[in-house]
Amino acid sequence: MKNFILFSLMGLSFCSFSQIKEPHLKNLKQLTHGGDNAEAYFSPNGKFVSFQSNYVKWGLHCDQIFAMDLKKAAKDSTYRPPLISTGKGRTTCSYYMPDGKHILFGSTHAAFDSCPPVAYMKGKYLWDIYPEYDIFISDLNGTITKQLTNTPGYDAEATISPKGDKIVFTSDRSGDMELWTMEIDGSNQKQITFGLGYDGGAFFSPDGKKLVFRASRPQTEVEITEYKDFFKKHLVAPTNMEIYTCNVDGSDLKQITHLGKANWAPYFLPSGDKIIFSSNHNSDKGYDFNLFLINADGTGLTQVTSESKFNAFPMFSPNGKKLIFSSNRNNGGTRDTNLFIADWVD
């Protein structure tokens, strides 16, 4: 009994310390329990999220898209959300349509039945930018209802304006990885960024007037040559990226962070005057990402998470009260990355 009391006191002390280290997060709950689960984005009513997973116990070999009932996931660790994508090829970057009854995502299923190969280069972390990616819309039963892009090259990373009128996405159709916009029905596809480098992972501001995104901007001859060589092989080395903002038409482009290393997965706070993002800028090792806050003018950098070695893909619920993100905390020493949700404390 004495040892039990001692351990209990130690546990209480640890919990209090954890809350102090992550004061913006309260009532943290784990939603998935195995595999790599990422890019969870809320439905318009805040009751569901779409996300991608490669969980082997669900019979997956690479990322597929699911729609999660948040209440069920919080109560039942064995809950398996319904599959939204076709189960073929590889998918990425899902997002709810304004009606809450359809989900868009990038997929290679039209070209591949099985998972496309993953690039590997010793000593180099790389992202594949498969030219077979296109953007599709599915209903909640997993039936494809529309294809939004059909241009040779990579089209993915699509998100939707809170106003419900526009979609922003990344495409390499013009010869580089640039941001494009289109109307909600896929019409009027227009390039809005033009700088050499990878522009991607864009999200709209709460009022729908601005975009925040990650971008690499190779400067030296060596950096430019490497970027172009990788691009020819449909690859990106995402180890040197900063956060940028611009208006929806691409004007008023501003670099928000100047931190070095990889700064990515940005998202506007509900107030619109701050940005949350993932970064390894203060890490001695490359694989050590935490969430940070920064004012939209680039001032006031503060750290949000401190638990585990990977925290990324933050998104706020429509009412601004919840934050969902991916983390490899509480994974039992495995390499699993799971989804977590918490009450947000300003």
The model's pLDDT over 302-337, given as tens digits with 9 standing for 90+, comes to 999 999 889 999 999 999 999 999 999 999 999 999
Give burial (CB, 10 Å; 0-12/13-18/19+) of 257.
buried
pLDDT tens digits, 61-117: 999 999 999 999 999 999 999 999 999 999 999 999 999 999 999 999 999 999 999
The amino acid present at 327, given as its one-letter code, is S
Give the length of the chain.
Answer: 346
Cα gap 82→179, rounded to integer Å: 31
What residue spans define the domains of the chain? 26-344
Q: Determine phi and psi for 14, rounding to 5 degrees.
A: -65, -45
The CATH number of the structural domain formed by 26-344 is 2.120.10.30
Q: Which among 232, 235, 282 is positioned nearest to 262, based on CA atoms?
A: 282
In which region does residue 268 sit, left (phi positive, over 0), alpha (psi from -120 to 50) or beta (all else)? beta
Q: Residue 9, SS3?
A: helix
pLDDT tens digits, 256-282: 999 999 999 999 999 999 999 999 999
pLDDT above 90 covers a percentage of the chain that reads 90
Residue 247, number of CB atoms within 10 A of its CB: 14
Taking a C-beta distance cutoff of 8 angstroms, is the pair 292, 303 a contact?
Answer: yes
Element (H, E) at 276: strand 274-279
Residue 106, number of CB atoms within 10 A of its CB: 30
Taking a C-beta distance cutoff of 8 angstroms, is the pair 85, 64 a contact?
Answer: yes
Structure confidence at residue 21 as a pLDDT band (50, 70, 90) = confident
Beta bridge pairs of residue 134: 107
- End-to-end C-alpha distance for the chain, whole angstroms: 40
Please state the pTM of the whole predicted model.
0.93
